[in-house]
Amino acid sequence: MRERDVPQEGNRTLAGHRKAVYAIADDGKLRLVPTHGWEVEEIVTRQAVEDLERRASEARTRALAGESSPLEYHMYRARMDVELLSQTSGVWRWRVRRHLKPAAFARLPLALKTRYADALGITPEALEKVE
């Protein structure tokens, strides 16, 4: 990639930041060039983010309909899945999966709710709600 070919298309996932890439300058040497981003990067990053957002909004619908617990919504909103939530909260995977059901979630002691809330970076009160 030549220095003049470095894309400056403005990748909006970078939120105005510039990242550094290496490209060939006129003297044939590679050097660091700041870039506003490449559309390709924006496409794949948005794809991943949108997939996570889709999961969160589906979980939200389910939670509002009483088909799943608010925990599922908050899990996806924090860009996690069962595996990751299990790792960060230290609760076994099968238990996390159980707590995604409204009935099991409703019976949770505050201590366990606090543990989930901590792992998700929210308060235990916020964990109860789906906004």
Partner 1 sequence: MPDGFVHAHASHCESGVMSSLLSHNGLAISEAMAFGLASALSFAYLPFVRINGLPLVSFRMPPRAIVRGLQRSLGLGMRFETFRSPSAGSARLDALLAAGTLVGLQTSVFWLPYFPPDLRFHFNAHNLLVYGREGDEYLISDPVGETPVRCARKDLERARFAKGALAPRGLLYYMTTPPTEPDWALLGKRALARTARIMLAPLPFVGVRGMKMLANRVERLSASSGGEHARLYIGNIVRMQEEIGTGGGGFRFLYASFLQELAAKTGYAALDGLASHLVEIGDRWREFALAAARMIRGRDALSPPTLAARLRALAADERLFFQSLHRARRAWAR
How many CA atoms lie within 13 Å of 60's alpha carbon, on the beta-carbon side? 13
Contact 124, 117 (CB under 8 A): yes
Question: What are the backbone angles phi and psi of residue 8, rounded to the nearest 5°?
Answer: -130, 40
**CB nearer to partner 1: pick between 24 and 104:** 24
User: What's the closest the beta carbon of residue 24 comes to partner 1, in angstroms?
Assistant: 6
Binding positions for partner 1, rule: CB under 8 A: 1, 6-7, 12-24, 29-32, 34-35, 37-41, 43-49, 51-52, 78-81, 83-84, 87-90, 119, 121
20: DSSP letter: E
User: What's the closest the beta carbon of residue 67 comes to partner 1, in angstroms?
Assistant: 21
**CB nearer to partner 1: pick between 90 and 109:** 90
Instruction: Please state, as a whole number, how many other Cβ atoms lie within 10 Å of the Cβ of residue 52.
Output: 15
